[in-house]
Structures are given as structure tokens and as C-alpha cells.
Chain A
């Protein structure tokens, strides 16, 4: 098990360099002189020269990358052009909101998706099965930001049940969490269904039935437990996606999270924040995936023995 974790950690090293390289390249690829971009619009020549010095922007490309890595490893992601606060502080200040939204979304999506999947698989080819799979196809094909707008239209504007935008009370969380999680619920439902269908057909399930166990016991104690393994992985991956992919939902509901910060910074051409936010979110995504991987090995001993 430890060996498995160690291998996974080693595997992260090249990916870490790749991720930093991509976030580093954002500034290099953008049109214009990076030093001028970093200094902001009303910077003097002296400011620009100071920036060039600090980030080594007068040096060759690869040297600049090394400087960037060095700064990143010291936690220096630069300073926001808009607020003059450090990028780390800006991003971390927005993280709780994003984690709150993604966390609640994934919990709702897991509960709905999981039970829908179980019922659908247990009554294969029934009306519920077909109905829920058609609904889940819509869930996968729907733009989540549009679902957010429609939820806002019906439940905030027309019915007035929930506030339309902002963060604060539990009521603020309902619409964004449900519309953000809809897609994941669909993915989880489909995964649970197909995983359970595969398990149900196996011999040991037939044995369990043959020895006269109640159907409930067969289903929940024997089948669901084994079907859970891939499902938990999918849930974890969905959490990773939601943590990084709530850009649109956060924009629709004016939710003050990292995604919205990213979009606002892109509009304001606040490159250090864009770079820093993308880097931190990507690293976060990487770590969640690592955790899911380890968890998978933990609950599925067959993997560990390989």
C-alpha cells in the first residue's frame, strides 16, 4: 500500500512540472511584453524595469521558467494588479466558497445518482430504468450554466423560493449546488447502474440467492458493496471536476469563489492572478485525483497486489 502511494507521488513530479509550465506559459503566450503586462497599465518605465528584474524577464525562456519555479516553491505567485495583494492571499480567500459549493454539490449528486442507479439496475428494463437513463442523458448533455439560469428563473424569479445570486445563507446555496451537481448526478447514476448490472450477473450473487438470503441482503450486502468500488472513484473524480469546473456556475450565481475570481481576472487582464489561480486549482485537482487513486487501492485489494 505504501509502495503504491509512493509510486503515485513520484508520478506526480513530472505532472507538477508540466502544470507549472503551462501556467507559466500563459503570460509568455499572451500578446505584448510580459513585463509591461505584469506592471499594469499606469506603470512607469522604472516599475517595468523592476518587474523585469524581479522575474528575470530579460533572461532566456528556460531561465525564466526556472525563476518561476523557484518563486512558486517559495509560495510567491506574484501580486494582483487590481488589488495589489499577493496572489496566494487572493486565491485562498476565495477557496472556502468554492469548496463549500463543490462539496455540497457532490454530496447531493452522489446521493441522487447512487440511489437512482441502484433502483434502475435492480429493475432493469423497467419504466423507471428507461426514464432515469433518458433523464440522465439530458443531464449529461445540458449546459450547466443554462440549467443554472433556468433554475434561477423558476425558483428565484417566478416562485421566489430562493435568492437568485450571492452567498451567505443556506438558501443561497440551494440553486447553485443543485444546478452544478446535475451533471455529476447523471454521470454517477449511469456508472452505478452499469457497475451494479455487471456485479448482479456474477456467480456469487446467484449463490447468495440460492442459499435463500433475502433479496435486500443480496442486493445491499453482496452486490452493492462490490459495485461501489468504481462508483466511489467516479464520485471522487466528480468532486475534483466540480472544484475546478464551477467557473460557469459561479459566474451565473455571482458566487464569490475561485472560478469567478479567474474570470474576473481574465477580464481585467490581471495575469498574475489568472496564472496563480489556474496553477493552484490544477494542483488541487491533481491532489484530489491522487487521493481518489489511493482510496481506490484501499477499497479494492486486487489493485494493490499487482
Chain B
């Protein structure tokens, strides 16, 4: 049977999207990379050959060897192990930051789109103000106010993605608000709260997923950047951006210290970006070019 025929029969949109996604090679590669990183982060204690905090000054700044595949850092800690454990931190920063922004953004977008009028105007002007800030600067401002630290970093990165979610959700709400089934729900006397969460929100899930995937990529990048500046997780916690920052000092004598964490950041961000693009193509065939 031809593959294309499957979509003709009354299949759910979800199944169609999945089959679209599976045909997109790039997206599958991206997704695999992301899953691989998540897997190593979750099972870090089983996979990492050494304890990431275990320092041994006799073995400081050693190059690649069978013992230490990616060499050791200035305290003789195994870089491969630190990258594997660092993934926990860097991925968590990206994912939690985006979780914060998606919850806030979705709520604001739903309220804005459903209520309309003055409420809509106030919320969206506020979102404009947040967007008037270049992202990195806003995050920098928030971290400098709250002080350095992992959780503050997540909040800072979370806040500046809020407007993106609010806009996308508001747009989706506006496009379905006047649909007959919403009117029908109103007519049979369902509460606004119920209508928003059971009829309107499910229609926004696709765009939210796509946006979240792409925003995680950006949050990981900027999170690593702020950690690089010393505003994120504090030493000796392994984190990719912070590892780059300490490796910078030894660039001349031990370039591997600053090289490999950067590859890790790039690969995982690339994975999220490619997967996000594929997801968008799969969920919204109209956008496909």
C-alpha cells in the first residue's frame, strides 16, 4: 500500500503529524541527538567513567588518553564525566526556563485572546515592553538584580521567552474563538474557564510544542552564556558554560578543556533546532517551503 494513502482515511491529526515527522530525516536525526543527550544526562551516574567532582591534582590538564578520553581539567577532573553530568544542569536550565515561560505565556495568551478588549490591550502592551529588550540583556538585568545562581538564571531566561508564548497562544485563541463549537459550548452554558481549557487550549498545543522546542535551544545557548559569565551554577557544579569559562584560562596550554563543552552545547542546540523545524513542518504543512 502506498504510504500517502494512509492519510486519506479518517485518521487523527496526531497520527498524521507523527507520520509526517517520521518521514523528515532531519527531524529524526535532531530528535535522536536530543534523546541521546537526555538519556546520558538521566543515566549520568551509570555512564560517566568518573565522579565529575573528583579532583586529582597529579593528573591536572592531561591530554586525551585511554584513561581520560577527553583529557582532564585544571583540577585533574575527567572532562568527559563533567560533560555528561554537566548535561543534567544545562538541559535542566533550558527545559525549566521554558517551562516557566510557557506556563506564564500560555496563561497570559489565553486570557488576552479570550477576554479581548482592555485586558488584551494591557497584557499585549506589557509583552511588547518585554520584547523591546534584547533577550540577553533582559536576562542579564534580571540575574544582576536577583544575584547569580541556578534558579535565578532559570527565572531570568524564563521571563524573556514569555511574550513569544503569549503571542502565539493569543493568535491561536483568536482564530478559534469565533468557531461554531465554541459558540455551542457557550450556548449550553459552559463556564468560560471550562471552554478555555477544554475547547480552546487543545487547539494551541501544536504551536506551543514547536515554540517550546525552539525556545529550549535558545535558553540553553543563553543559559550557557550567562553561566560562562559566572552568573549561573556556581563551581564546582559541572555545567557546560561554566566549564568553558574555566577552560578559557588554560586555552594556551590545554585547549581541550574549553573545546569539548562547546561541542556539547552546539550539538544539543542543533538537535533541538532541527527537531523543532521538523515538528513545525509536520504540524503545519502550510508553512512547509
Contact = CB atoms under 8 A, between A and B. Distances in A.
Main secondary structure of the interface of B (DSSP, over half): helix
A23 interface: yes
Contacts of A247: 136-137, 140, 225, 229
B270 A14 contact: no
A251 B130 CA distance: 25
Nearest to B134: A244
B247 to A, nearest CB: 8
A67 interface: no
A19 B251 contact: no
Contacts of B164: none
A153 B248 CA distance: 10
B286 to A, nearest CB: 14
Nearest to B231: A266
Interface in B259-273: 259, 261-262, 265-266, 269-270, 273
A286 B137 CA distance: 13
Interface size for chain B: under 10, 10 to 19, 20 to 34, or 35 or more residues? 35 or more
Given A149-B258, A262-B140, A266-B140, A245 B129 contact: no
Contacts of A28: 145
Contacts of A289: 132
Nearest to B130: A18
Interface string A15-48: 1001100110111111100000000000000000
Given A137-B270, A143-B221, A197-B289, A22 B138 contact: yes
Contact of A15 (B128, B147, B230, B248): B128
A248 B132 contact: no
A101 interface: no
Interface residues of A, number: 50
A150 B259 contact: yes
A9 interface: no
A291 interface: no
Contacts of A51: none
A194 B289 CA distance: 8
A18 B132 contact: yes
A155 to B, nearest CB: 12
Contact of B244 (A14, A31, A145, A281): A145
Nearest to B289: A194
Interface in A125-143: 137-138, 140-143
B274 interface: yes
Nearest to A193: B289
Given A15-B129, A137-B274, A26 B136 contact: no
A31 B147 contact: yes
A285 B133 contact: yes
A153 B251 contact: yes
Contacts of B259: 150, 153
A139 B194 CA distance: 44
B273 A140 contact: yes
Contacts, number: 134
Contacts of B231: 266
B125 interface: yes
B248 A141 contact: no
A296 to B, nearest CB: 17
Contact of A143 (B133, B141, B265, B274): B265
A235 to B, nearest CB: 16
A61 interface: no
Interface string B118-131: 00000001101110
A171 interface: no
A162 interface: no
A241 interface: yes
Contacts of B244: 143, 145-146, 149
Contacts of B265: 142-143, 146
Nearest to B146: A29
B132 A274 contact: no
Contact of A285 (B132, B248, B262): B132
B115 to A, nearest CB: 20
B110 interface: no
Nearest to A286: B132
A286 B274 CA distance: 31
A175 to B, nearest CB: 13
Contact of B125 (A14, A26, A157, A194): A14
B153 to A, nearest CB: 13
A278 interface: yes
B289 A26 contact: no
A278 B255 contact: no
B237 interface: no
A143 B145 contact: no
Given A15-B132, A137-B270, A141-B221, 8 more contacts: A141-B266, A142-B269, A143-B266, A150-B262, A244-B134, A247-B140, A247-B229, A274-B141
21 contacts: A15-B129, A15-B132, A18-B128, A26-B144, A30-B145, A141-B221, A141-B266, A141-B270, A141-B273, A142-B269, A143-B221, A144-B225, A146-B244, A194-B289, A244-B136, A247-B140, A251-B228, A266-B140, A266-B231, A267-B230, A285-B137
Q: Which 10 A-B pairs have the closest CB atoms?
A: A18-B129, A146-B262, A29-B145, A141-B270, A141-B269, A244-B134, A26-B145, A266-B144, A15-B132, A30-B145
